[in-house]
């Protein structure tokens, strides 16, 4: 099983990030020195994937453009001898090959993934939700690619969440067959509080078979009147089986301001150049609260 393509739906409005996301797609908001989408694409690259299919809308072309060359800018940086910046800009453009398809109306994550069906010729492919990004060595999508290859089965990423948060996620229940690997027995999109014992929440990482498109096309609107990916996966799972894999590492939800600001601080502190001055500045700010 070779996973070479990822579908990345980026057509959402980003209402949680308003007004910052009014004119700039939420995927382009910076976390320290890179836009959110770059962290997500880098996670795909770490999993061996170099073809990205963006599912966009008419306001999101800037997301595709980001991964293209910028010849004028490169020439300017070269002339001015700004080699570090030049390298960073060239690296982004060399990272992946980009394709895109429009989601012409917002009808849910399942519908968004379904829009990309004609771009997928492979038996298996990945899907990543751009709000979630996972940091840590060998963490994230690469774990799903490994599990799907090992068990020859589709796999989705999960993390434990507290009982009072299960109505915010697609939730799965399953039987553990190896450490952190579950054979899924139940899946529900955003169940009401208290209706499911499991704490395993879907965190926007999937390795799926191309047959899933048939299930998506048949899928009736579910929660919120939207075509839910979770509902199509549940139908597939009941007939053919599916794995859930506990993600290692740390997950940031870029649409949540606490996570967003924590991620900016985390990546700032990881940078040797600004670590010490940032620590001093943060300590001074913290004293005021
Ligand atoms: C989507 C999925 C949900 C998943 C979540 C992860 O929901 O439908 O199953 O748990 O992403 O971020 P959304 O957050 O788009 O409402």
The pTM score is 0.95
pLDDT at 133 over 90: no
The neighbour count for residue 215, using CB atoms within 10 Å, is 22
Structure tokens given for 284: 């001074």
Which residues touch 47 (CB under 8 Å, ≥6 apart)?
3, 126, 140, 141, 142, 144, 145
Kindly give the distance from the C-alpha atom of residue 230 to the centroid of ligand 1, in angstroms, as a whole number. Answer: 9
Amino acid 126: pLDDT:
98
pLDDT at 137 over 90: no
Kindly give the distance from the C-alpha atom of residue 7 to the centroid of ligand 1, in angstroms, as a whole number. Answer: 15
User: Which H or E run contains 53?
Assistant: strand 51-56
Amino acid 13: pLDDT:
85
38 lines ligand 1 (CB under 6 A): no
159 lines ligand 1 (CB under 6 A): no
pLDDT at 22 over 90: yes
For residues 190-198, give the mean pLDDT: 95
As a whole number of angstroms, the distance between CA 159 and CA 249 comes to 10
Atom of ligand 1 nearest to the CA of 204: 6
201 lines ligand 1 (CB under 6 A): yes
CATH number of this structure's domain 5-158+202-255: 3.90.550.10
pLDDT at 131 over 90: no
14 lines ligand 1 (CB under 6 A): no
Q: pLDDT band for position 132 (50/70/90)?
A: confident
Atom of ligand 1 nearest to the CA of 201: 10
38-82 per-position pLDDT tens digit: 999 999 999 999 999 999 998 899 999 999 999 999 999 999 999
Amino acid 101: pLDDT:
97
Kindly give the distance from the C-alpha atom of residue 81 to the centroid of ligand 1, in angstroms, as a whole number. Answer: 44
Cα dihedral sign for 30, 93, 123, 220? positive
As a whole number of angstroms, the distance between CA 184 and CA 259 comes to 28
Amino acid 268: pLDDT:
97
pLDDT averaged over every residue in the chain: 96
Tell me how far CA of residue 112 lies from CA of 207, 250, 254, in angstroms. 16, 26, 20
Amino acid 262: pLDDT:
96
Q: Which residue CA neighbors atom 11 of ligand 1 most closely? A: 204
Kindly give the distance from the C-alpha atom of residue 198 to the centroid of ligand 1, in angstroms, as a whole number. Answer: 16
């Amino acid at each position: 099983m070779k996973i070479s393509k990822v579908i990345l739906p980026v057509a959402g409005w980003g209402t949680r990030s308003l007004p910052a996301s009014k004119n700039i797609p939420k995927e382009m908001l910076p976390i320290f020195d890179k836009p959110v989408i770059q962290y997500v694409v880098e996670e795909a690259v770490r999993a061996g994937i170099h073809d990205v299919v963006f599912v966009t809308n008419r306001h999101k072309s800037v997301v595709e453009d980001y991964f293209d060359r910028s010849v004028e800018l490169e020439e300017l940086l070269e002339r001015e001898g700004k080699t570090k910046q030049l390298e960073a800009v060239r690296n982004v453009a060399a990272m992946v090959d980009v394709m895109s398809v429009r989601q012409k109306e917002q009808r849910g994550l399942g519908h968004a993934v379904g829009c990309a069906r004609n771009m997928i010729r492979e038996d298996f492919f990945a899907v990543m939700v751009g709000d979630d990004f996972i940091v840590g060595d060998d963490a994230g999508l690469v774990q799903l690619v490994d599990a799907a290859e090992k068990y020859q089965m589709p796999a989705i990423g999960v993390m434990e969440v507290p009982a009072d948060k299960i109505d915010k996620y697609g939730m799965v229940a399953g039987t553990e067959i190896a450490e952190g690997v579950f054979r899924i027995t139940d899946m529900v999109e955003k169940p009401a509080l208290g209706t499911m014992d499991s704490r395993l929440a879907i965190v926007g990482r999937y390795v799926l078979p191309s047959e899933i498109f048939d299930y998506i096309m048949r899928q009736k609107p579910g929660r919120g009147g939207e075509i839910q990916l979770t509902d199509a996966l549940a139908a597939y799972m009941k007939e053919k089986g599916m794995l859930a894999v506990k993600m290692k590492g740390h997950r940031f939800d870029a649409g949540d301001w606490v996570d967003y600001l924590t991620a900016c601080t985390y990546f700032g502190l990881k940078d040797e150049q600004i670590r010490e001055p940032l620590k001093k500045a943060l300590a001074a700010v913290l004293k005021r609260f």
